[in-house]
Structure 1
Amino acid sequence: MDKNQQGIQYMKEGKWEDAVKVFSEAIEENPNDPVAYINFGNVLTAVGEREKAINFFNKAISLDEKAGTAYYSLGNLLYESEKYIEAKDMFEKALRAGLENSDTFFMLGMTLQTLDQPKLAMPYLQRSVELNPNDVDARFQYAMSLAYAELYEELIQELNEVIKLDPNHSDAYYNLGVAYAGYKEDLQTALEYFNKALEIQPDHILAANGKKTVEAALQE
């Protein structure tokens, strides 16, 4: 096991100091290897040293402009700092560098949604789901992009897939309630979904409001 692999193992075990030690040794032994800088940056991120982590990711990129993982890691840091435009640029660079995995597509889609560009987000979220069909978060966010686009049949289908993966996903039940109340005009089924959301999460304010509205309409 080389030092980078050893350091990653230490990270999985939460042995941060040991990981820092072996990644430092890896950099000393091969200062032109971008992988060691990326790994060091990931350790620093994990322990909250974000500014230092950025320096290591930038160093990796200076050594290899195709270091997709470095762009992705920078994108995450920028996203968490609410620097969404800069984050979007980093995720796009990660994709161009060949890091075409479900996480990269998901984070680019999430960033675009946060920037109020749901139509642009949709294909990236869809691709994330295609690459990892069991990712509940990706599938739910893809469903939300379908809602923005008013593609209600596809929305209902995706939300049902979310529930199959996570039977306790209160937001999925709530949004099914909205779809059935508004698009399907099936108030009884909508009520059942709102009740299910509240059964799972009693303090779900939106579901409570939806239930109240539907019950009032059913009594008219």
Structure 2
Amino acid sequence: MLKINLLTATIIGLCLTNINTAFGVIVSVGEGNKTDVSQTVAPFNKNAVASFQEGVNLYEQGDLKGSEAAFRKAIELQPNFAKAYIGLGNTLDDQGKSNDAIAQYKKAISLEPKESGAYFNLGLTLARLNKLDDAIAQYKKGISLNPTYVSAHYNLASALYAQDKLTEAVAEYTETIRLDPKYVQAYNGLGNALDDQGKPTEAIAQYKKAINLDPNNAYTYYNLAVTLARQQQLDDASVALKKARELFQIQKNSEMLQRVDQLFQKINTRQVN
């Protein structure tokens, strides 16, 4: 029974859900409004700033081609505009042009070596390419420049977990939660790591915290069900699994529905291990 770590889902959705972090503009945890870009990059060319803002807006709307063109225009007008290279890298990466994206992030780093967002986004792309050692190195660079970089801590934790470095992963998930107590995915990841360390009771507590924060997180219900089933708490496991099934049906997630059915079968036949 394979538990689900939310690293992949988080990487895919991160830049669109936190545009400030995506473009290297770091704001306080929980702050929802975009930073005033003109202040962030002043005294840059005003037209370049306007193109950059257009690129951000189009990226938020999912218009990758339009966003790419706007960022390229910003760079044309202001060749040392590091954040525009980060934005361009994001649009290229989301179009499946990972190598081109990496080149843009590295250009941003060469222009602004202390730009933590460039290291973070480079790490995301490297992780997508399964170059986890390289991704971890980039996340750590970003964190060294900005120790409160919540998303970098979370993605570092998930990369460490993927390498089965459980002690380090637990530490980073815990730090993520310390920085942002409402970071649902971190509780889920921490639960997975604790369970893999042979600490199911602590893992169950983390899954329940995640559910309290987000009652509609299907993956957390599934992971909770897996751990409960292993502990032979089959009735509770069935309740959690039923909820996971309802949510996955709403999402039309056929792959996870298949996993749910397989776990239900094991629970019903008492073949859980």
Same fold, TM exceeding 0.5?
A: yes
Compared with structure 1, are the counterparts of its residues 99 and 182 closer, same or farther at alpha carbon in structure 2 (3 Å cutoff)? same
- 1:17-166 pair list within 5 angstroms: 17-98=65-146, 100-166=148-214
* SS of match in other structure, 1:38: helix
SS of 1:36's partner is helix
Q: How many residues align?
A: 215
8 Å CA contact retained: 2:229, 2:267: no
- Look up the match of 2:263: 207
Q: 2:219, 2:72 → 1: CA distance?
A: 44
Contact 1:197–1:207 under 8 Å retained in 2: no
In structure 2, give the amino acid aligned to 1:73.
N
Please list the CA deviations of residues 34-73 of structure 1 after superposition, one character each: whole Å capped at 9, or x if unmatched: 1121122112122222211111111111112112111111
Q: Does 1:12 align with 2:60?
A: yes
Aligned partners of 1:187, 1:126: CA distance in 2, in Å? 29
Name the structure 1 match of 2:6: none
Q: Measure, in 2, the Cα distance between the counterparts of 1:189 and 1:14.
A: 40
Asked if the contact 1:119/1:148 (under 8 Å) is kept, the reply is no
TM-score with structure 1 setting the length: 0.81
Give the letter aligned to residue 88 of structure 1. Answer: I
Q: Secondary structure at the match of 2:171?
A: helix
| Bigger relative contact order (CA 8 A; separation at least 6) | 2
Percentage of identical aligned residues: 28
Distance 2:79 2:246 in 1: 56
- Structure (1 or 2) with the greater helix fraction: 1
Distance in 1, Cα, partners of 2:150 & 2:139: 12
Paired position in structure 1 for 2:30: none
Give the gaps of 5 or more residues in structure 1.
Answer: none
Asked which structure has the greater CA Rg, the reply is 1
Judge which range, 46-55 or 9-18, deviates more.
Answer: 9-18
Q: Any conservation in 2 of the 1:178–1:190 contact (CA below 8 Å)?
A: yes
**Amino acid paired to 1:207:** L
Spell out, residue by residue over 1:145-200, the C-alpha distance to the aligned partner (whole angstroms, 9 max, x if none): 121233333322211122223435455344444544555x6554445445555565
For residues 13 and 192 of structure 1, the distance between their equivalents in structure 2, rounded to whole angstroms, comes to 38
- 8 A Cα contact 2:148 2:179, kept in partner: no
3-state DSSP class of the match of 2:198? coil
Q: Give, in angstroms, the shift of residue 208 of structure 1.
A: 2.2
Q: Which runs of no fewer than 5 residues in structure 2 stay unpaired?
A: 1-37, 39-48, 249-256
Distance 1:32 1:174, change over 3 A: closer
Shift of 1:88: 0.9
Q: 1:30 to 1:197 in 2, by over 3 A?
A: closer
Q: TM-score, normalised by structure 2?
A: 0.67
Q: Quote the offset at 1:128 in angstroms.
A: 2.0
Distance 1:122 1:28, change over 3 A: same
